[in-house]
Amino acid sequence: MEFRTLGQSDLKLSAITFGAWAAGGWMWGGTEQNDAVKAIQSAFDYGVTSIDTAPIYGMGHSEKIVGTAIKDLARDQVQLVTKFGLRWDATEGDFYTNTKDNDRNPIAIYKNASKASIIKECEDSLKRLGTDYIDLYQIHWPDKTTPIQETMEAVAQLIKDGKVRYAGVCNYSVEQLEEANTYVDIISNQVPYSMVNRGIETDLVPYVIKQNMSILAYSPLQRGLLTGKMQAGHVFSEGDHRQGLAFFKDENITQTVTFLDKLKPLAESKHATIAQLVLRWTIEQPGITIALAGARNEKQSIQNAKAIDVKLTAEELQFISKALEQVKLDL
């Protein structure tokens, strides 16, 4: 495994980090806990020592699964990355969405990044994870009802108290990132990025490179679209959020499959899967420090971890980029 330093900190994460959203079940049509635990443990065996989770993933379920998976490990062997700011158990803040929990019960989610909420969320996350500190603590989404100053000063206090090592953000614009960094040292921004979702290259990537910050890319496989295993007409299970996303319209799936077919000879020459090739391409892009890869079982987890073994030359990266130029999804 390769390990990469976030920003100007001394925190190093595995270049392929385990993304534990699907492990929590919420919005993914449920989960099987034993499979999720084995997925995390198998990833660790192959060098994936970093795990990204959040309270909202299964209303605490993902964090509990992570806590179970790492309970027999020495704390300094693993890097725990989690979030705050999405509450399903309170109605203060900025309304986010109506959804259903893993038991299919209706719930309302609110963005709340107030100081009091952050302090409570941190304590709850520590208990679920079975630890006394979090390596990287990130606001999940911007909360327009709370000043950024209040939010970041609360995180700074948690760092001072030893409950958090470093501050990060998720889904922040350059302007929001710039303001947040005036109140606490921000080392990373976690944002969506994939071969077919490259909007951040315009402004965010140049900014973080200039400021020596890091990007944690989530959904690098575009939630399964870039695995090469999906075909037009795919039927999602009940509760799977992907069925309503534009990326998964039949015409977009078909166009993506056509592109991925062009990569098959290259993948085969590397004895790699399409997904492994995609993950390696992702972490080779300027400004991208870490790729978050989710897995629901041991097999997927090991395959993701082995993506690090794929090596791409400058010419091969250029070949992929040129093929990508022909992909024009209807989003």
Query: Which sequence positions are flagged as catalytic?
Result: 57
**Which long-range contacts does 209-214 make (Cβ < 8 Å, 24+ apart)?**
209/286, 209/287, 211/181, 212/7, 212/8, 213/7, 213/177, 213/186, 213/187, 213/188, 213/189, 214/4, 214/5, 214/6, 214/7, 214/187, 214/188, 214/189, 214/289, 214/290
Contacts of 286 (CB under 8 A, 6+ apart): 205, 209
Distance CA 317, CA 25 (A): 34
- Beta strand 12-14 with 3-5 is antiparallel
- The token duo for 61 is 């379920």
Residue 15 Cα to chain centre, angstroms: 12
Residue 63 Cα to chain centre, angstroms: 14
Angle between helices 115-129 and 61-70 (to 10 degrees): 40
Distance CA 122, CA 6 (A): 21
DSSP-derived 3-state class of residue 326: coil
